[in-house]
Amino acid sequence: MASLLYFGGLDSITISKRLGHAKVSTTTDIYSHIIQQADEQAADKIAETIFRAGKKKSDKKRSGSNSKQMGEFDRFFEVVRQMCATGRITFTR
């Protein structure tokens, strides 16, 4: 159940209460590997969303294909994805 909740985007406090743990640290200690996997998945989704939004804008700005511009955007996307995955970019609700 906790795995589904973490992958669903719920926070540790809510999950801890739902599981009946007295301390949030109990939940985070037990499910630390799941938290890491869910965070990596979230980072990939954020980067993918940014990539799609940027691609739509760049497609509208230019007619035809320009491999140099797309190469630069692909590099930017990869940097953002890495920063999300390593926690250098964080998003809060």
Mean pLDDT of the residues in the chain: 78
pLDDT at residue 19 in the model: 94
At residue 53, the pLDDT reads 67
> Are 13 and 43 in a shared domain?
no
Mean pLDDT of 15-35: 94
The answer to whether residues 17 and 45 belong to one domain is no
| SS3 category, 29 | helix
- pTM over cut 0.75: no
The domain in which residue 66 lies consists of 39-93
Whether residue 31 is predicted with pLDDT greater than 90 in this model: the reply is yes
Whether 22 and 50 map to the same domain: the answer is no
Amino acid sitting at position 24: V
Cα–Cα distance, 84 to 64 (Å, whole number): 31
Q: 45 vs 14, which has greater pLDDT?
A: 14
Measuring CA to CA, how many Å separate 47 from each of 4, 12, 74? 22, 23, 11
Domain count across the chain: 2
Are 44 and 83 contained in the same domain? yes
